[in-house]
Structure 1
Amino acid sequence: MSFPELETNRLELVQINEEHTQSYFEIMSKDEVTKYYGMDSLKSIDDASKIVKSLQNTYESKRGIRWGIVLKETGDFVGTLGLNNLSTWSKKAEIGYEIHPSHWRKGITTEAVKEVLRYSFADLDLFRIGAVTYPQNEPSIQLLRRLGFAKEGLLRGYLYQNNQSHDALIFSLLKREWAKKPPTSV
C-alpha cells in the first residue's frame, strides 16, 4: 500500500522521511511545543532521526499514519499530524498533531486535521476518531470542539511527562456526526 499523500488549498500532507529530520527536530526541541505533548523536548538531531524512522515503521506495520505538514507556497515543513493506534478492523484511531510556534493561530492545524478527518471517514471508512489532550491545552481543546469533537471525560494519570503523571481529557468524533456536518472544503 502506497503512502496516502493528501492535499488542501495551502498544504501538502506528505510521508515523513530523513529529509525532514532537521525541521522535525526544530519543532520538537521547543518546550512550548512539547509542553502538552506527553514527551520531553528533543535534545539531539539523533533523537529526531530515531523518531522519524519509528514513524515510518509505524506506517509500514499498519499501526498508524503520520504526515508531515508542508506549506505549498514555500515548501517549508511546519509540523506533523497523524492517526495513532489505528485499527481498520475495529474502525478507529486517535488523532494527534503539533506545529512550529511560528505557524500557530494561522488555521494550518485546523486545515490539516479537516483533511485527515475526511480521509479517515471517507477513504479508510473509520467509525471513530479519538483525541487525547492535557486539560490545560486550551488551543487544542478549542480546535477539537470547533471540528465537532465531543468531550467524553477525564483519564486520570494517563500521560507521563517530566517524571510525573498527568490527567488527560478524551474527545471523540464519530463518522455519523462528521457526515451530518462535514467540514467545508479545505
Structure 2
Amino acid sequence: MSFPELETARLKLVQITEEHTERYFEIMSLDAVTKYYGMESLQQKEQAADIVKSFKTGFESKKSMRWGIVLKETGTLVGTAGLNNLRIGQKRAEIGFEIHPDYWSRGFTSEAARAVIQYAFAELNLYRVGAITFLENKASIGLLEKIGFIKEGVLRGYIYQNGISNDTYIFSMIKSEWEGLTNN
C-alpha cells in the first residue's frame, strides 16, 4: 500500500521523507514544541533523520502513520500529525501532532487533525481514536475538545520526560461520535 496523501482547504498532508529531515529538526529542536511532547528536544540532525526513518518503518509495519503538514500556499512543512499505537486489528489508534510556534493559533493543527481522524475512521475503519495530553497542555486540550474528543480521565505517571513521570489526560472519540459531528 502506498502512503496516502490527504488534502484540506489550506494543507497537504504528505509522507515525511529524508527531504524533510532538516525542517523536522528545526521544529523538534524547539523547547516550546517539545515541552508537552513526551520527549526531549532534538539536539542533533541525526536524531531527526532516525525519527524520519522510524516514520517509514512504522507505516510499513502498520503500527503508525505520520503525515507532514505542508502549507499549500508556500510548500512549507510546519509540523506533523499522525496515528500512534495503531492497532488496525483492534480498531484503535492514538492521534498526535505538533506544529512550529510560528504557525500556532491559526487553525492548521485542528485542520490537519480532522483530516487524520476522517482517514482513521473512513479509510482504516477504526472504532476509536484516543489522545494523550499533559495536564498543563491547555492548547492541545482545547483543540481536542473543540474537535469533539471526550476526556476520559487521568493516566497517573504516564509520560516520563525531563526526569519526571508526568500525569496525563486520556481523551477519545469513537466512530459514531465522529460521524454524528461530520454528518450535521
Fold conserved between structures, TM > 0.5:
yes
Normalising by the residue count of structure 1, what TM-score does the alignment of the two structures yield?
0.97
SS of match in other structure, 2:73: coil
Deviations 1:142-174 (A, max 9, x none): 000001100000000000001111001000000
For 1:127 and 1:62, locate their aligned partners in 2 and report how far apart those are by CA, in whole Å. Answer: 16
Deviations 1:50-90 (A, max 9, x none): 11111111111110100000000000000001100111111
Letter matched to residue 107 of structure 2: G
Aligned to 1:109: 109
SS of match in other structure, 2:90: coil
For 1:127 and 1:121, locate their aligned partners in 2 and report how far apart those are by CA, in whole Å. Answer: 7
Letter matched to residue 117 of structure 1: I
Letter matched to residue 84 of structure 1: N
Aligned to 2:78: 78
SS of match in other structure, 1:89: helix
Decide whether aligned partners of structure 1 residues 161 and 58 sit closer, same or farther in structure 2, where only a CA change above 3 A counts: same
Structure 1 contact 114–183 (Cα < 8 Å) conserved: no
Aligned to 2:135: 135
For 2:41 and 2:183, locate their aligned partners in 1 and report how far apart those are by CA, in whole Å. Answer: 33
Letter matched to residue 104 of structure 1: W
For 2:182 and 2:144, locate their aligned partners in 1 and report how far apart those are by CA, in whole Å. Answer: 14
Decide whether aligned partners of structure 1 residues 56 and 183 sit closer, same or farther in structure 2, where only a CA change above 3 A counts: farther
How far has the Cα of 1:23 moved from its partner?
Answer: 0.5
Aligned to 1:59: 59
For 2:77 and 2:180, locate their aligned partners in 1 and report how far apart those are by CA, in whole Å. Answer: 33
For 2:50 and 2:64, locate their aligned partners in 1 and report how far apart those are by CA, in whole Å. Answer: 16
- Would you identify which runs of 4 or more consecutive aligned residues in structure 1 move more than 3 Å? none
* RMSD over aligned Cα atoms: 1.0
How far has the Cα of 1:183 moved from its partner?
Answer: 7.8
Gaps of 5+ in 1: none
Normalising by the residue count of structure 2, what TM-score does the alignment of the two structures yield?
0.98
How far has the Cα of 1:123 moved from its partner?
Answer: 1.1
SS of match in other structure, 1:24: helix
For 2:16 and 2:150, locate their aligned partners in 1 and report how far apart those are by CA, in whole Å. Answer: 30
For 1:122 and 1:48, locate their aligned partners in 2 and report how far apart those are by CA, in whole Å. Answer: 31
Aligned length: 184
Aligned to 1:179: 179
Deviations 1:101-136 (A, max 9, x none): 000000000100111111111111110000000000
For 1:183 and 1:107, locate their aligned partners in 2 and report how far apart those are by CA, in whole Å. Answer: 21
Structure 1 contact 69–81 (Cα < 8 Å) conserved: yes
Letter matched to residue 68 of structure 1: G
Gaps of 5+ in 2: none
Aligned to 2:5: 5
For 1:112 and 1:140, locate their aligned partners in 2 and report how far apart those are by CA, in whole Å. Answer: 13
